[in-house]
Structure 1
Amino acid sequence: MVSMDRAMVAEAAIRRIDAWLQQHAPRARAVLRPPASETDLVAAQDAVGRQLPPDLRAWWLYADGARFGLDADGGTLIPPGFVPYSVDEALKSRRLWMDVARQLALFDQLEAFISSENSRPAGTRCDTWLPAWLPVATNRGGGNLFVDLRGGPKYGCVMEFYRDAGAVAEPEWADMAAMLYDIADRLAENEAYLDNAGRIFWP
């Protein structure tokens, strides 16, 4: 999928998701933050040192993540149970995982390992957080969805990372556009359910 196609697919899926939320889950829609700014997106791009995929830009330009807490809980918009990060939260999470990686290995060994893994193609499994990974969502329990910004044909794929295992599974989605399209389809097919408070959950 070329860049323009990815952006167009993402934007079309976002419109479908937004329409569904407004009609069926206004609480979940209300906790989405306003769009990220270009300054926010530049900060993310500078932190990772790589260009943001156009479909990720489209997502953050729709909503800068979701608020969550006792007074703002819309459930889990992203299956099977993830809450979207804001750009700021994504960068904080990335810094945290990188700090954890440094604490678990000797510095010289870590640098050589990360350099090697960071040069491998996107979608390659790794149990240590890599600089080219950018979080996009959290399960609020030690797990993240991230976009893999390493090179190769799977550039921009969406993978899962867990505190105790790392990223050991194949990519969950080919890219953010595919993820958003999947969410829009699954919402339309009534796969998600709403609790009594109007929060979204997935079976």
Structure 2
Amino acid sequence: MGEGTLRSVSLSWRRIDDWLEAHAPATLELLNPPVTAEALESAQQVVGMRFPVELSESLKCNDGLSDWTSLLPESSPLSASGIAEHWRICMETASNNDGFVVPPWEDEPWWHPLWVPWAASADGNAHIIDLRPRP
């Protein structure tokens, strides 16, 4: 991952922040400050893997939101601790309900340990980053 990609994530957040300041200042106020190194490391330990550098960079710009709002279409970015908590709940739910098994009518399981949730809707559905090795 090049420095240009990280600069792109930071630049994107600056543009989003500027737009929110001009058009939705109440939503801007919901953005958390940057994640601390300790909180980021703690979340990665819970999940058992390093987050993609783009996600880590995004969290270093804004560590999610202090309250749910549909900043993204129908969803809200999670904080590092929110990512860890959502992942943990999904792991527990999947292990208790055959959620790691791919049903014959689907192409994916309900949950996979290498999925990292990065945003969630009000009903708890998550946007995930799929870290499974594939072509």
* Structure 1: tracts of 5 or more residues without a match: 115-124, 154-203
Q: Which of 68, 72, 91 is the aligned partner of 1:98?
A: 91
Say yes or no: does 1:151 pair with 2:133: yes
The SS at the match of 2:28 is helix
Q: Percent identity, aligned pairs only?
A: 29
Q: Equivalences for 1:127-166 in 2 at 5 Å? A: 127-152=109-134
Where has structure 1 moved over 4 Å in runs of 4 or more? none
Give 1:53 shift: 1.6
Alignment-derived partner of residue 53 in structure 1: 52
**Residues 94, 110 of structure 2: 8 Å contact kept:** yes
Q: CA deviation at 1:47?
A: 2.5
1:117 counterpart residue number: none
Instruction: Report the CA distance between 1:145 and its aligned residue.
Output: 0.9
Q: Which residue of 1 aligns with 2:43?
A: 44
1:144 CA drift (Å):
0.6
SS of equivalent to 1:31: coil
Query: Deviations 1:124-162 (Å, cap 9, x if unpaired)?
Result: x52221111111111111311112222345xxxxxxxxx
Q: Encode CA deviations 1:100-142: one digit per residue, 9 max, x unaligned.
A: 1111139xxx5xx59xxxxxxxxxx522211111111111113
CA–CA distance in 2 between the matches of 1:59 and 1:99? 27
TM-score by length of 2: 0.85
**What is the CA–CA distance in structure 1 between the aligned matches of 2:112 and 2:78, rounded to whole Å?**
18
Larger Rg over CA atoms = 1
Report the residue type matching 2:111 in the other structure.
W
- Give the whole-Å Cα distance in 2 for the aligned partners of 1:149 and 1:132: 5
Cα separation, 2, equivalents of 1:11 and 1:127: 33
Kindly provide the amino acid, as one letter, of the partner of residue 21 in structure 2: Q
Measured against aligned partners, the alpha-carbon deviations of 1:11-51 in whole angstroms (never above 9, x if no partner) come to 11111111111111110000111111111111222233332
- Aligned with 1:137: secondary structure? strand
| Distance (whole Å) between structure 2 residues aligned to residue 3 and residue 95 of structure 1 | 30
How many residues align? The count is: 131
SS at match of 2:117: strand
> SS in structure 1 opposite 2:51?
coil
Partners of 2:131 and 2:93 lie apart in 1 by 20
Q: What is the SS of the residue equivalent to 2:70?
A: coil
1:135–1:51 Cα change, 3 Å: same
- Give the structure-1-normalised TM-score: 0.58
Judging changes above 3 Å, is the alpha-carbon distance between structure 1 residues 61 and 54 closer, same or farther for their aligned structure 2 residues?
A: same
Task: Judge conservation of contact 1:50–1:149 (CA < 8 Å) in 2.
Answer: no
